[in-house]
Copies of this chain bind each other. A is one copy, B any other.
Amino acid sequence: MTMKLSFNTWVYSSFPIWVPSYPIEEAIKRLARIGYDGIEIGAAAPHAYPAYTNTERRREIRKTLDDNGIVVSAMLPAPGGGPGFNVASPSPEERRAAIEQYKEVAQLCADLGGDILLYVAGWVIYGTEWKQAFAWSREALAEIGQAAADLGVTVVVEQNPADGNLIESCDDGIELMRAVDAPNVKLMFDTIHAMYRNEVPTDYVYRMGKDLRYVHISDIDRLPPGQGRGDFRGVVQALSDIGYDGFLSMEIGFNYRNAQPDKFAREAYEYMKPLVDAAGNG
């Protein structure tokens, strides 16, 4: 039983920082060369925005993945750009568009061989009550979960206090999961968000236990693990304790206009790989 390492594509894409930006084929080849087992693909231009990615294109990307021996660890939409895709927006048009976008990303994920969809639960606009926003997000998640189930895709709820204000804590995530109560609606967490709240990432691991199906690894300021104050040895130990054998996916560097993406990817890999290997042999 070994955990696997993956890398999120934002820093190689035009989201949210426009450049540097690489075709997805470049990102796939470079991450595979560094040694990653998986790639987490954000559904943003120029990589894999569903509306721009026809059947032939999907086949091409899938082939590049196969040729480079790397798999899709997960997918997620790009929240907050022009269309927002805020499932808790007071605008019914935006909520509907967000739900449809999640469904399209789930389909694209399945087409590329992935089986995990990350759920960014939306955020509260001034004038909306938190409970109302939560209700809208729950409705959305129920519908998305259903559609994903048909595709064999598990939807995992992220907590995001750094950017949002709706599902912020470990308990918020668990509450939303329980409110939907579907076998393919589970949990993930991101070390940077736990630390943003000055909480202890390992607490999240033990608390979520078997419901934890995906993990984002990031040190503070979206730095590679080991370059800030995060306790990643503790996190890997805790994951090992609960028998986690999924992906640890680096979602880092994408907020730096001056990012050198390969450097982020390489340094994160070289720091995490020995920790994960030690846990696998332990």
A-to-B contact residues, CB < 8 Å: 14-23, 26, 43-46, 49, 51-54, 77-86, 89-91, 93-94, 97, 101, 123-127, 129-131, 161-165, 168-169, 171, 175, 195, 197-203, 229-231, 233-234, 257-263, 266
Asked if residues B199 and A80 are in contact (CB atoms below 8 Å), the reply is no
Asked if residues A46 and B94 are in contact (CB atoms below 8 Å), the reply is yes
Asked if residues B46 and A90 are in contact (CB atoms below 8 Å), the reply is yes
- Taking the full assembly, how many copies of this chain does it contain? 4
Which residues of B sit under 8 angstroms from A20, Cβ to Cβ? 126, 198-200, 203
* Residue among A129, A231, A259, A261 with most chain B CB within 10 A: A231
Residues of A contacting B: mostly: loop
Q: Which residue of B lies closest to A93 (CB)?
A: B52
A159 to chain B, nearest CB (A): 12
Kindly state the separation between the CA atoms of A2 and B7 in the bound complex, as whole angstroms.
32
What are 5 A-B contacts defined by CB distance under 8 Å? Answer: A20-B126, A44-B84, A130-B175, A195-B258, A198-B258
Kindly state the separation between the CA atoms of A135 and B215 in the bound complex, as whole angstroms.
30
Asked if residues A79 and B18 are in contact (CB atoms below 8 Å), the reply is yes
Which residues of B sit under 8 angstroms from A161, Cβ to Cβ? 197
Asked if residues A52 and B94 are in contact (CB atoms below 8 Å), the reply is yes
Question: With A18-B80, A46-B125, A81-B80 given, is the CB distance from A234 to B257 under 8 Å?
Answer: no
Name the contact of A14 in the complex, choosing from B49, B86, B131, B266 (C-beta under 8 A): B86
Question: With A127-B26, A231-B262, A262-B202 given, is the CB distance from A257 to B14 under 8 Å?
Answer: no
Which residues of B sit under 8 angstroms from A260, Cβ to Cβ? 200-202, 229-231, 234
Which residues of B sit under 8 angstroms from A26, Cβ to Cβ? 126-127
